[in-house]
Amino acid sequence: MTSEEIESSFAFIMELEKLKSITRKVKPVGQDRYENTAEHSWQAAILGLTLAKLSREDLDAEKIVKMLLIHDICEIDSDDVFFFDETARNDIKESEMRSAKRIFGMLPGEIGDQYLAIWLEFEAAETKEAKFAKAIDRLMPVLQNLHNNRQSWDENGIGKEQILAKTAFIADAGELVWQAVSEKIEAIFDS
């Protein structure tokens, strides 16, 4: 390890401080404020690790945790985009790529390249780990909404059918996970 590598690692980690100021659309359960991206990434990583360990599928839990910890780093430059806003999600793809390259490029070569490769794998959602991580990324705000009286769904006019259709890929975290969550979604709207 060289002093330049240490300094670039410090610069990278301090850049990640900015994730704490990126506001999302979901409030932490029982809170009046909106969560930030750093909180989301941490909690999604813990959920991913837990469910990966419980999964009967042979999954690389460490890779899933890495994906969930870094998947939203591009929001430092690109900001968070509401999951149900398809137009904004499509429009931001190039900005996210530039952001990921810039931020991971702050790291010493091999490490930055590895992080970018993991981020790209997550974005492509073709491997079993990436599909699982994407499902967990979506599952976390669903769980928050289920325990927060549908807070972000109601604030943004999102209904049951839209939620069920757009979140069905949560089944990539396991059919039983999706069954449990979809039943809870049905119940919270039908009660």
Tokens of 163: 């939620």
Q: What is the pTM of this model?
A: 0.93
> Quick one: average pLDDT of 25-32?
93
Domain 3-190 fold: Hypothetical protein af1432 (1.10.3210)
DSSP H helices, the chain, are 3-15, 37-54, 61-70, 75-78, 86-91, 93-104, 109-124, 128-146, 151-155, 160-166, 175-190
Average pLDDT value for the chain: 93
Contact indicator for 136, 47 with CB cutoff of 8 Å? yes
pLDDT at 14: 97
Work out the pLDDT band at 12, boundaries 50, 70, 90: very high
pLDDT at 179: 96
**What is the Cα–Cα distance from 184 to 55, expressed in whole angstroms?**
20
Tens digit of each residue's pLDDT (9 = 90 or more) over 93-117: 888 999 999 999 999 989 999 999 9
